[in-house]
Structure 1
Amino acid sequence: MGYKRDVKYNVRRLLYANSGNICAMYGCSNSLVYANTASINEICHIEAVNEKGARYNSDLTDNYVNSYENLMLLCPTCHSIIDNKKNEGFYTVAYLKQMKQFHEQQVQEALMKKVAIEPPIYLEGYDVSGIVASYNDLYEKEVNEKYVYKILNIILSMNVAIRSVVYGIVILCSEDRTEQVDVHRLHQMVNVDLYAYAGIMMLLEQQKIIEETSYTDPLSGYETEDGDWHLVQNDYLFKTTQGTWYLKKRGRLFLVIYDMLRNRRDFYDFVVNRNLQMLRKIE
């Protein structure tokens, strides 16, 4: 028979406030409401309202089914993926609640940054011509000083957790003398849970520091135990644990800087602690 669908106004308001106007699906950055007031958001029930829905639980109440704890905001595409019965074995109740929590945590951290921002960095006073020369000697694609300033500003302006992952990526690639990122060893190095780690990998891929190369086709995925096909294009938790990752052009720049600094301590001080004086060592 199912439950009554009745999401209260205060619950809707809280969902919108905590969503950051972004779909809560891992890896999806679709806006939910646009400047012209057009809206593409859909309220997804984690445990379904009706018996035919995904993750239906007959032991709930009408109040819980329509409560904030059981709802999340998604774009239509991600909503259809999550509520497809064929994907129910992957998008479990526990998985979706973790995903919602991680998304809302990201939103809160972003809002906090607007209030408590790290001091700006001024790279223009440092000579990066040595970095430019070393990079251009090693790689066919040439860079200039303006490019180096731009990339360093992007990464050094990110939070310390992201900078720590960049540090780990470079250390592992340098040690193994490869541009392939060992994501499992990397996760062991960084002090974040798997969901946060997947989110950081997503951000670094968006910033073209690294890229995942196994699941680039929109139809990429895997066959479930039931014989269904699970698409993984926006599933960064899966891609982080199962994918193949490589450094991109911007990531190689940090590999060059590490080689020029010659030791972990100085590179850590530069990337994680944002100590720009380390650049003096390679001028």
Structure 2
Amino acid sequence: MEEPKRLAIRKDVLRDLYLLSGNRCAFPECTRSILNGSGNLVGQVCHIEAAMPGGERFNPNQTNEDRRAFSNLMLLCYDHHIETNNVNKYTVEILREMKRSHEKKFSDAAEKLFESTVSDMTLLQEFEYCSNLNSINKVLEWGNTESELLEVVPLFNSLLDKRLRKLTPNTRSIFSVMVARSEGSEINLNEIRDVTGSSQSEMVNAVAMLERYGLITEPEENEYLIPVTYFQEYDMWDMWYEIKKYSEQSSISLKNIIEDMQFSLFD
């Protein structure tokens, strides 16, 4: 176990905290600003689980990096920072929910604004429907007849129309990596963020959009984990697992299928 050491908070974490704060204290119904009109920090960056032993809610099992991570920090005004020092009333779980609710409110607003600015762009994105599914049927050895495949074609094209085409290109790119790395029982969002080079705010927005269009379920209590079962669709037939297998066995990239929306590659 490493020796506890207070590390400086990274600039990218501070930026994401502020962007998702709406420039407001995260305490419910508090309207105090974090930055004043002159751009000076008048709020406080607060640890949910303390940075050092003796601090409120200190967790000896955390690493020093965990303690300065985005997930362990929130922005509060001075008065509410003092109030939340009452560890009996303000437990780790309560503060995490306070942070989640506050940031979700402002991330949803940002997402709606972002969607409205790119709505024309999403309509102009190129895509191709599938028409017979002969290739995926052969590669995965489904053994379906031509008439059986034609019954499945609308399901695939509905997945394209009602879900993938609603996403921004960046969100499809993140989802493509999620599908590619979907092994075991869960997916680590920190890992997805790192390998895609996404900021915390970009991940928050992408997860919100993927939830909205039914491509993932809401993350559980640990905000960094999502059950792999979120890929299951259509009477529990795991289409995304099948699509991933097809990509691996046919050498057709998930980028072409998911990001470029070329469903004709299944034919």
Q: TM-score, normalised by structure 1?
A: 0.48
After TM superposition, the score normalised by the length of structure 2 is 0.50
